[in-house]
């Protein structure tokens, strides 16, 4: 997943809504450039199954390494604050084709 914005931002937030009934949207990954120029995650690092990178001050990526059919229908989106306004991407919906016991890599 790629979050690309039109202006430099200090950080972005990846939000996830599970496909279960009554699911609430949760902040899953908060990331941004630290003062030394490296990519930082706060308040904690991303989950083990997610690899994220700060490509530039306008491009941030996260890759889900493996999904199972329990994640079918989950929705992700990124959010960034630009000119004191929260800007949000469209939802990215996870589609899993396969059996319950099968673990599939995400491309």
Domains and CATH numbers, the chain: 2-105 (2.60.40.10)
Q: Is pLDDT above 90 for 49?
A: no
Instruction: Give me the torsion for CA of 37, 87, 70, 54, rounded to 10°.
Output: -10
Q: What is the DSSP letter of 69?
A: G
Omega before 43 within 30 of 0, i.e. cis:
yes
For 32, counting Cβ atoms within 10 Å of its Cβ (0-12 exposed, 13-18 middle, 19+ buried), the class is middle
Tell me the per-residue pLDDT of 10-33, one tens digit each, with 9 for 90 and over. 899 999 999 988 889 998 899 999
The predicted pLDDT at position 104 comes to 47
Say if residue 82's pLDDT is above 80.
Answer: yes
Look at the pTM and tell me if it is higher than 0.85.
Answer: no
CA 12 to chain centre: 9
Q: Give the Cα separation of 90 and 107 in Å (integer).
A: 19
């Amino acid at each position: 997943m790629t979050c690309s914005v039109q202006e430099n931002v200090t950080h972005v937030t990846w939000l996830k809504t599970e496909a279960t009934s009554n699911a609430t949207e949760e902040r899953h990954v908060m990331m941004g450039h630290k003062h030394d120029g490296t990519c930082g995650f706060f308040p904690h690092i991303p989950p083990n199954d997610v690899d994220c990178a700060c490509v530039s001050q306008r491009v941030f990526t996260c890759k889900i390494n493996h999904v199972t059919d329990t994640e079918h229908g989950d929705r992700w989106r990124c959010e960034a604050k630009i000119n004191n306004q929260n800007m949000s991407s469209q939802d990215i919906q996870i589609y899993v084709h396969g059996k319950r016991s099968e673990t599939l890599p995400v491309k």
